[in-house]
Amino acid sequence: MSRDLIGRIIVVTGGNAGLGYFTAEQLALRGARVVIASRNEAKAKLAIDSLHREVENIEPPSYVHLDLADLASVSRASDELVALPSIDVLVANAGITESTADSTTVDGFESMFGTNHLGHFALISQLMPSLLATADSRIVHLGSISHRFYALDLDEHDSPERFRSFRSYSRSKLAVMTFAFELDRRLREAGHDTRSIVAHPGFALDELTPARPGITPDARPGAAVRTLLGSFAQGKDAGARPIVMAATDEYLRGGEYVGPAGWQQLRGRPRVTAAKAWSRDRAVAAKLWHMSENLTGTSLRL
């Protein structure tokens, strides 16, 4: 594999497990210096140990504590990250996929919206000066095919009785994507060369993922089950490929959406694809941007 990323510093939130780990591994294989930003130091150490096993002549990876569900933690992590010589790419990968009606972040926000969108919004706001100071830098946001299913109504707040975890997750991912596309539009408008790109992994399962001790589950399904699952899903190593493409492909433009090329974008090689039109609604994006600044106490100026 070409080591074409030597000299690049790439921050991967949630790089200690799942898609984030395999994103970090694939970037490290190409020579990047990877910084894992996550909330669990023990798991991050296991991830770094695994990277050393899997990648020869690795640029030494490092760890920064980051809990996206705690805005004070986001600020502390930002202070550490801006001390890096540069940030060539920020991969905003970390997030949660399940929650309950009464689950909130440290700051009182609904858990999935607060973690998946607001935490990253605050992080990006505070890292933006470093990103803008680095030539041709990128921000890669983790989208989801689930953004197709529910519109983003910023005035609607589900009661505990109406709360549905999948709906909340889908809306949080639509918020991530809406912000990402609007961020790129504003970056272009301001004359910056930093690119904001969205990638999604398709349907990526642990059951189809190569074993990494301490990173992947120990239990493995039989060959017949893997064959069945492989007809419509893929491993998290394959799910990381659209993320890596978004982080590194020199021909990608800002504002593009990268995902698997197969049926319903569930699996396959990465390619540029189409997001649902409502993810690019500028009126919703402007409202989301303003709301996010107010809720996080940050000011994202370009």
- Residue 31's SS3 state is coil
- Cβ burial of 194 (10 Å; 0-12, 13-18, 19+) is buried
Compute the distance between CA of residue 11 and CA of residue 134 in angstroms, rounded to an integer. 13
Tell me if 88 sits within 8 A of 104, measured CB to CB: no
> How many CA atoms lie less than 13 Å away from 111 in the CB half-sphere?
16
- Cβ burial of 76 (10 Å; 0-12, 13-18, 19+) is middle
As a whole number of Å, the CA-based R_g of the chain is: 18
Q: Which of 63, 169, 251, 257 is flagged as catalytic?
A: 169
Q: Which helix (H) or strand (E) holds 252?
A: none
Quote the tokens at residue 232: 């419509």
Compute the distance between CA of residue 285 and CA of residue 297 in angstroms, rounded to an integer. 18
**Whether residue 150 lies in the annotated active site:** no
Question: Catalytic site residues?
Answer: 169
